[in-house]
Every structure is written in structure tokens, then in C-alpha cells.
Amino acid sequence: MPSNTLGSNFSLLSFGESHGKCIGAIVDGCPAGLQLSELDIQPFLDLRKPGQSVITTQRKEEDVVTILSGVFNGYTTGAPICMIIWNKDSDSRSYDVFRTKPRPGHADYTGIVKYGGFNDYRGSGRFSGRLTATIVMGGAIALKILKKYLNIEVISYTKSIGDISLDTREMPFQLLRENRYSNDVRCPDNRTAQKMKESILTARRDGDSLGGVIEGIIQNVPPGLGEPIFESLESEISRGLFSIPAVKGVEFGSGFFGSSIRGSINNDSFILDPQSNTIRTKSNNSGGILGGISDGMPITFRVAFKPAASIPKPQKTVDLGSMSEAELTVGGRHDPCVVPRAPPVIDSIAGIILLDNCLKCNLIPRVLH
């Protein structure tokens, strides 16, 4: 499978560079008969776009999507759906120095090595977080199909920023869903969100940055999704999540904590739900996945983001031209913390993978009615 493609039965091809003419996505495998227009996709892009608050980059991009193909008379045709966003506010002047002095924490050096210096370095090119907008384009389509035809719902939100964390164990799904976009940080508790925001602003004043953790929940997932062993549901979701710049860790269910407790505590006992006459589990330490296959419980996962790499503090690097050690100060417009813009991207990745697996299991027809 090409490295710029995610999914097989329902696939997303991402193209473009951060400071190129445009960025875009080609969705292949979308069933015919889905009512679709730019109005279905734009709200998701608006949640991700830059320049929305003082804790995000001040690059001003409206990220207006245009559908070029695959939709006729308001419905998908079954053909590939091509979508683009024109780049309008790129400023490449501060990036020339990075051709010879790679930024710590960025892919400048590895990109030069991999592509022999021919890669587009402006705005980090293909390695930029701006390319997550292409994921959201395809994700918006997948999420609409999942919700409308299987009532599968994906939500994610900020669980922690730096050392400030929210305990969500007793918070109902409806509250998490309704409150996650009630503040700039995308944390479902406003008091905790304010502390997170202050922490981000303090780091920015210090010429520094912060990372954090996004938590995701997928509701109403039918049992049986996943193709072990190398296309297990965890494998596929993780592959997608690790394609997001700055992601350094993914865990499901009890995750790393589960490795510190006994099996008698971590195991999820099976029970019979008398109302639906379906098999459930008393707890959900598995995160809704057993043996790489969904077990019918909510899929729960957490995604760790490293601190944003572009900071104005002086840092050590190597001058590739003279092959000598050097010092570098990063200029330009950058996020002091990328986490607040990540929830719609996380939702989109999970949506694409879930829809792809539903198509594999024939839970979604090729023609929708």
C-alpha cells in the first residue's frame, strides 16, 4: 500500500505541502448514494483550522474545501472523491535557514537524508501538521456514514496538557460530547481547561511549548470488526494515529496501567445484558478490543503528543554546510501546543479505520439508500 494512503476498502490519499499551492485528499471506496456537499465537511475543518485563539498558530487560513469529483446532483457516485484546500497565508521566508541548520525535534534532517534534499522544506512540507486537514476531509465523510447507518459515534477531547490532567472516569459520554468544544483547549471541563490554557500561555511566554494527551471513545461499535493478525483493529487505528505529526504514544483501555496490576483485576468479566440480550463486559479494561477484534464495548484509547518542536529558545544544532555545531533560534508562526487542534483529526482517523472495517465485514452496502 502506498505510504500516503490510509485504509483499503475505504481509503484516503493525502497530497500537497504546507506552503505549496494547495493540500487535498482523494477518497476512494465511498459507497454511492450518500448525500454529500462541502457543508458536510467544512464544520470539521473549522474545528481544526489555525488562528482560532491565542494558544494556536496565528497563520490565517480559512481552509475552505472544494469538492472536485465523485459527487453529482448532491450524491456520491461511487467514483473517487477529490477535495482541495488552497493555501493562502503561507510565509516561507523563515524556513530557508533550516535547509542547512535542521530544527531539533523536527523532520528537517531526516527529510534531507530520505529525499536527498529535494523535499519541500517550506513550512515543513509534507511533515507539517497542516496536512492533518487532508485527514479531516476524508474523516468527515466516514463519520457521517458511520453515524447515519450504524449509529457509531466517535468523540475525542483533551485529557491532559503538561502536568494538568482531567479524570474522566465518572463523566458520562453525553457530557463529554457536549462540552468538549466549549473552550479553546477542547477539554470537557471548563475549570480544568482554564488551568490548561494558563499553562500553555506560561510556556509560550517562556519561549517554550507543551504536549498533552487526547482521549478517544467510539460508541456503538458492533462486535467482530478487525482482521488479525497484522490488520487487527488496534493495529489499524494505531497506524493511523501515528501518522499525525507529534504523536509519540497510543494505548487502549487500561493501557500501560494495566501492565502494573494483576490479571484478576485487569480481566473483563463477561455478563449478559438482560435488556438487549447481548453479551457485554462488566469492566472495559480491554478498551473494547480483544485479540484485535471489537467485542461490542466502547473502544477507548489515549494518544500522547510531544511538546511542539518549534520554540523561540536558542537550541543546539549542526550546520550541514560546514559540518560544524551551531546555534539556532526558530522564528515564524507556530502552535505553543498542538493538542487543542487535534480532536477532529483523531475523530477522523478513527472514523476512516472503522468505516474501512465495516465495509470489510459487509455492514455497509456499496449503494446507500
Mean pLDDT, the chain, integer: 92
* pLDDT tens-place string over residues 149-187: 999 999 999 999 999 999 998 899 999 999 999 999 999
- Could you give the CA distance from residue 181 to residue 127 in angstroms, rounded to a whole number? 27
* pLDDT tens-place string over residues 294-332: 999 999 999 999 998 888 889 899 999 899 998 888 876
107-135 core/surface letters (b: 16 or more CB in 10 A; e: else)? bbbebbeeeeeebbbbbbbbbbbbbbbbb
Instruction: Look up residue 16 and give its three cell numbers.
Output: 500537497
pTM score, whole prediction: 0.94
Residue pair 323/309 in contact (Cβ under 8 Å)? The answer is no
Q: What domains sit in the chain, N to C, each tagged with a CATH number? A: 5-253+288-360 (3.60.150.10)
Q: Which of 299, 308, 300 is nearest to 212 (CA)?
A: 308
* pLDDT tens-place string over residues 12-27: 999 998 887 899 999 9
Strand partners, 27: 12, 81
- Could you give the CA distance from residue 32 to residue 125 in angstroms, rounded to a whole number? 33
Contacts of 215 (CB under 8 A, 6+ apart): 156, 157, 158, 159, 168, 300, 301, 302, 303
User: 109 or 67: whose pLDDT is higher?
Assistant: 67
Residue 164 sits at φ, ψ, to 5 deg, of: -100, 120
Q: 131: helix, coil or strand?
A: helix
User: 152 preceded by cis ω (within 30°)?
Assistant: no
pLDDT band at 333 (very low <50, low <70, confident <90, very high): low
pLDDT band at 61 (very low <50, low <70, confident <90, very high): low
Residue with the three cell numbers 500516503: 4
| Residue 231 DSSP class | B
Contacts of 108 (CB under 8 A, 6+ apart): 98, 99, 102, 121, 124
Estimate to the nearest angstrom the gap between the alpha carbon of 352 and the chain centroid.
11
Instruction: Look up residue 38 and give its three cell numbers.
Output: 462541502
